[in-house]
Amino acid sequence: MPGDSNFVIVTMQRSGSNMLGTLLNSHPQIKCFGELMRKTPRWMLEQGYRGALRILDKLDEYKDDQVRFSRPYDFINAVFATKPKILIKGFKLHTDQHPDFLELLLRDPEYTVIVLQRDNILAQYSSGKIAETTGQGNAPRGAEIKRARVEFNSVKFNRFVESVEENFKKVRALLAESGKKHFELKYAQLNDQDRLSELVLFLGADPTTELQAGTEKRNSSDILSRFVNPDDARRAIDEMGRPEWARESV
C-alpha cells in the first residue's frame, strides 16, 4: 500500500472511466473529481454538458483554460482543497489531454497511478462514435438511454487503434523508466469486486467497503450490431487478427 493521498487515473476515451469514478466516489474515504484537464468538445457544450468542470464555478481564478493548463498542479491542488475532509483524492487524465502534465505525474512520488485500459478497441471506438451521435457522454443510473447505430470507417478505426496502442506504450515506458508503482485495471474488471477491493487497498482506503457504480451500460455487448455496416467492421478486425473484438463480455 503506497500511502499517497493523491491519485490519477490514466486512461483514454470510452474506457470505463466514468464508471470507475462513480465506483470510487461510492467509498466514503475517496473522492474522484473526473476529467479536470478536459477541453470540452463542441458537441458536448451544445448539449450543456460540463462534467467535472462544474468545479470551475467555485474557482474563478481557473475559469480561463489557458490558466488551468499553464498551472495544472496549482489548479488540481485548488480543486482538491474543496474537499478538505477527504484524504484520498484524485482525478482522471486522458493520455492526450495534457501530455506534459501526464509525464510529470507519472514520475511524481506524491501521486498514485491507476492505468485503466479497455482491451476491446472496437468497443471503445464504437462507444465514442455513439456518444458523439447521441450527445450522451455518459448515462447516470436511472437515466434514459439514447441509442444509435453508427457508420464504421476503416481508415479512422485503424488510426484510432494505432493511437490507443501508442499512447499506452508511452505511458508504460515512462512508468518503467521511473520505476513508479502503479495499478493496472481493465475495463472488464470494473464489475469484479475483488479486483476493486485490491484497488481500494492500493489507494490506502478500507477495502471492505463494497463499491457501487452510478452509471448504466448503454451499448450492446454484440459490438458489430452497433454499426450500420457491420460487415465492414467484421472484415477489419479479421484482417487485424482480432476477431474476438466482435463481442464484449461486460
217/119: higher pLDDT: 119
Q: Is residue 1 part of a domain?
A: no
* Mean pLDDT over the full length of the chain: 92
Q: Is residue 40 part of a domain?
A: yes
- Report the DSSP beta bridge partners of residue 31: 89
50/125: higher pLDDT: 125
195: CATH: 3.40.50.300
Residue 176: the pLDDT is 95
> Is residue 100's pLDDT more than 90?
yes
The residue range of the domain holding 135 is 6-246
> Is residue 114's pLDDT more than 60?
yes
> Is residue 2's pLDDT more than 50?
no
Q: What is the mean pLDDT of residues 30-54?
A: 78
pLDDT, tens digit, 9 for 90 and up, residues 191-207: 999 999 999 999 999 99
Q: Is residue 188 part of a domain?
A: yes
Residue 4: band (very low, low, confident or very high) from pLDDT cuts 50, 70, 90: very low
Q: What is the mean pLDDT of residues 110-135?
A: 95
Q: Is residue 16 part of a domain?
A: yes
Q: Is residue 22 part of a domain?
A: yes
Residue 83: band (very low, low, confident or very high) from pLDDT cuts 50, 70, 90: very high
Q: Structural domain tally of the chain? A: 1
Q: Is residue 99 part of a domain?
A: yes
> Is residue 3's pLDDT more than 60?
no
